[in-house]
Amino acid sequence: MKSNICLVGFMGTGKTRAGRIVAERTGKEFVETDAMIEAAAKKPITRIFSEDGEIRFREMEIAAVKQAASMENAVFSLGGGAVLNAINMLYMKQSSVVICLTARPDVLFKRLADEERDKRPLLAKPNPKAEIERLLAFRAPFYSAATALVVDTSTMTIGEVVDEVVLLYEENKAS
């Protein structure tokens, strides 16, 4: 029986917000791997990207996901690109019910307001909307490979997302 819930998906899909509420509702600890990386590096992700590069960030991400996967009774929110590495997903699939949150590109663009986009190194481009679409298209097969359990948050309230995540967990925790 899997005691953990792992939320994957693109930035802005609601992983952190829903994850915190799911953790409260299920009596589990909430863990955000990006926060683990920042704590280990003693600097924000934007600085890790600018000073150390994306490759170093992805190395730190593997270590954080491995550490998180060793926990029990937790809800994990993985960074949007964590699914790009098969090692990360192997760790999570062994310990967790993995659920992918999705949303349409136009919804993500609205959710990731200008000030929020400044904190997202991968969206620091002249046309962030086009970058969202490009990244989503590139990552789509990785999200599909991560899990068959998908919640499209585009038109859902946060309460509806939480209800669906808890339901999917309850239905799949024995597998």
Using 50, 70 and 90 to split pLDDT, how confident is the model at 118? Answer: low
Q: What is the mean pLDDT of residues 77-97?
A: 94
Q: At 158, which CATH number?
A: 3.40.50.300
Across the chain, mean pLDDT equals 92
Q: What is the mean pLDDT of residues 76-103?
A: 95
The two three-digit tokens of residue 135, written as one number: 């990244």
Task: Using the predicted structure, report yes or no on whether residue 61 has a pLDDT greater than 60.
Answer: yes
Task: Using the predicted structure, report yes or no on whether residue 30 has a pLDDT greater than 90.
Answer: yes
Structural domain boundaries, residue 90 = 4-172
> Per mean pLDDT, which of 57-61, 114-118, 119-123 is the most reliable?
57-61
Rounded alpha-carbon distances, angstroms, from residue 12 to 16, 18, 95, 112: 9, 11, 24, 6
Q: For the chain, what is the domain count?
A: 1
Q: What is the pTM of this model?
A: 0.91
Task: Using the predicted structure, report yes or no on whether residue 103 has a pLDDT greater than 70.
Answer: yes
Task: Using the predicted structure, report yes or no on whether residue 23 has a pLDDT greater than 70.
Answer: yes
Q: What is the mean pLDDT of residues 33-50?
A: 94
Residue 121: its pLDDT value, please? 61
